[in-house]
Amino acid sequence: VEANINFTTNKARIVWDNEKLKLSEIILKIRSIGYNAYAYDSSIADLQASKAKRDYSIRMMVAVIASMNIMMLSVAKYTGFFTGISAEVKHMIHIGEFLLSTPVLFYSGWIFYKGAYYGLKNRMLNMDFLVSFGATLTYIYSLFILFGAKGESYFDSVAMIITFVLVGKYLEVIGKKSAVDTLDKIKSSLPLEAVVITKEGKKTLALNSISLGDIVEIKAGEKVPVDGKILIGEGSFDESTLTGESIPVYKKRDDLVYSGTINMDSLIQFEVTKSFKNSTFSSIVALLEDSLNSKPKIQTKAAQISKGFSITILSLSLLTFLVWYFMGIDLGFDYAGTNHFEKSFIVAISVIVIACPCALALATPMASLIGISELAKRGLLFKEAKFIETLAVANTVVFDKTGTLTKGELNVVKANILDDNIHKINLLYSLLDDSTHPVSISIKKYLVSKYDLESKNLLSVKNIEAKGMSAIYENFEGKSFELLGGNIELLKQNDINYAFDSNKTVYLFAINKKVIASFELEDEIKDNAKELISFLQNKNIDIIMLTGDNEQVASRIAKQLNISKYFSTQTPVSKAEYIKQVKKENKSVVMVGDGVNDSVALGNADVAVAMGNSAGVSLAVSDIVLLNSTLSSLQEAFVISSKTYKFIKQNLGLSIIYNAVTIPLAMAGYVIPLVAALSMSLSSLMVVLNSLRIKMK
């Protein structure tokens, strides 16, 4: 159904129909094209990585030691070139170079032959082919010289080509691993098993074996393995692994605890509410892995550029040989003592060796990987790597108000109870009890603090989008009462004329079209909201605020935050329609909401950012998740995304400039194969090292 391969992390994410295809068939297919595929297991992956690193180290040491000895022999050969050397001595030097370069080419260089073979098998000319092809041609030519043909042998160049590229690849692997380690560290922070309380006593079970409803026990200092609800005990929990906030959160009976957090105080027993696979921590890890597997748009463009790279280089190499051989062009570089064929051949080999498709191929994934890792460290989860690019180039940010720019913790600042009949107050309380809206929760909290209330059974309870609620109550005599609770628009819609003017959030309650009570509520602006708006405005990004609140509330918040463009009394549908309209103006839109009631609007934006705590955040509707809900972390997301995108463009620029400069120089005869191999390796390392700068503050 879907296959996504990340060559930087050596992982493939595959979705398949198990009724049509088995995993064993997929693995066999992958192995048939040269890759040792197996179902991912972090412990096996670590063993494989250690084995590969050890293999690289041995091959590299053989290449380095042999190359150093070849260079000692080459000193004698090149000194003799100027001072005089007998044919017998020169032949012995050639034999020594042959003996030393052969294991370098066929043992240390086996990695390149293997890569080239599978590339050709699948009709691809890759970097391994260029390296092995160039080194092999040079080796064969040098064999002709060894067995009597006139000219100079280039066994030293063969060894150096393999050695330089191998060392470069080894350093590249280390650079990649340091970036991938972030994910490994996050995953390894969970315990492998947990203590479960059963009828027979306590049992230690693997996390995958824990079921919903099981009772899990954790001691002070231990990590919560799966999500659950506290049954026995209370204490503080360190949730910094999820939210980035260092201040512990106090939890008591019936409070939820989340996987990956640390119990700091005392023994706790909790009931499992989510399986290990669906727990908060596992969802975060899965999201992070998916983002590492995805590709930004700019990477697709780079892949298109590099697609025909190797064929182009081979064509240029052949053209270079033909021009030098048949036209005798000499642009100033002199291979002293060489014949005409030899000169043409060595120049053509230099063109093959100096070209570096790997720098172009590494440019985007390397920077993306490090950027995603840095964002994850700060509690910023990007669903796909492409959103780094989208966020970096965005020119419009649309904010929901409640719970996004404001704390969403409304407080009743003024209450006007027009009829304090306790039965009517009970009906208001019952209507509020059927709602999870922040306004309802705040008023209910206020009423509980003032009255001794009881809940009534209501009929036909309806949620009226962006306006409020309605219900029917029947008393013991069978008499019906129509209940309405919500904003002024709800009352107007039901032909209730009630004059009320306020720049705060207003809630009105009516029974049988008579207003019984009115409430004014106020919401505080979130910390760092002003700083974020100012930061975005300085980047010339358009700021728009959409809210379901009335004009007075919207204007007050907009004025405080210096937002000139805002729209009040918006429904979820009208928010989505507005975003569609903005996108038609060729604008890249980021929508920031609470991830649940703004799901329609979020789904229509180019990038959907979900605000909300780590428990309630909706991963389904968001592209970027801010685990700690702070607006300062959203600012960090913009900063790191812009920085990463800048380095991606730098890497692409560096690799294109490198190839554009060095290939013509090699074609002109100014670069020998040995220098070509060194510069090719350095170009890849240059891209890796430049990407690692993203980590620097």
CA-based Rg of the chain, rounded to a whole angstrom? 34
pLDDT at 532: 93
Neighbouring CB atoms inside 10 A of 660's CB total 9
- The mean of the pLDDT values for the chain is 80
pLDDT at 470: 92
- Structural contact between residues 358 and 302, judged by C-beta atoms closer than 8 angstroms: no
> Is 400 among the residues known to form the active site?
yes
Q: Give me the torsion for CA of 259, 265, 268, 271, rounded to 10°.
A: -30
Neighbouring CB atoms inside 10 A of 605's CB total 27
Show the CA angle centred on residue 20, arms to residues 16 and 21, nearest 5°.
Answer: 55
Determine the average pLDDT of the residues in 178-184: 53
Instruction: Tell whether the model's pLDDT for residue 102 goes beyond 90.
Output: yes
Structure tokens belonging to residue 52: 């590969």
Euclidean distance between CA atoms 425 and 438, whole angstroms: 19
- From residue 272, alpha-carbon distances to 206, 241, 275, 428, 565 in Å are 14, 20, 7, 35, 46
In percent, the amount of the chain with pLDDT more than 90 equals 18
**Burial of residue 421 (number of CB atoms within 10 Å: 0-12, 13-18, 19+):** exposed
Least confident range from 131-140, 180-189, 454-463, 685-694: namely 180-189
Determine the average pLDDT of the residues in 49-58: 81
- Residue 391's contacts (CB-CB under 8 Å, 6 or more residues apart) are 590, 607, 624, 637, 638, 641, 642
Least confident range from 446-450, 623-627, 640-644: namely 623-627
pLDDT at 629: 75
Euclidean distance between CA atoms 256 and 129, whole angstroms: 56
* Catalytic-labelled residue, pool 128, 156, 227, 400: 400
Instruction: Tell whether the model's pLDDT for residue 193 goes beyond 90.
Output: no
Determine the average pLDDT of the residues in 354-365: 66
Q: Quick check: helix, strand or coil at residue 22?
A: coil
Amino acid type, 246: S
Instruction: Tell whether the model's pLDDT for residue 616 goes beyond 50.
Output: no
Residues 70-87 have pLDDT tens digits of: 888 877 776 776 677 787
Instruction: Tell whether the model's pLDDT for residue 467 goes beyond 80.
Output: yes
Euclidean distance between CA atoms 608 and 267, whole angstroms: 39
Q: Quick check: helix, strand or coil at residue 612?
A: coil
Most confident stretch, 285-294, 316-325, 531-540, 595-604: 531-540
Q: pLDDT-derived band of residue 249, with 50, 70 and 90 as boundaries?
A: confident
3-state helix, strand, coil in the chain (%, to 5): 55, 15, 30
Alpha helices in 203-356 (DSSP H): 240-243, 280-293, 297-307, 309-327, 340-354
The crossing angle, in degrees rounded to 10, of helices 386-393 and 297-307 is 110
Residues 263-281 have pLDDT tens digits of: 887 889 999 998 888 887 7
Neighbouring CB atoms inside 10 A of 287's CB total 18
pLDDT at 183: 56
- From residue 680, alpha-carbon distances to 158, 428, 645 in Å are 14, 75, 24
Least confident range from 60-69, 222-231, 235-244, 436-445: namely 235-244
Instruction: Tell whether the model's pLDDT for residue 534 goes beyond 90.
Output: yes
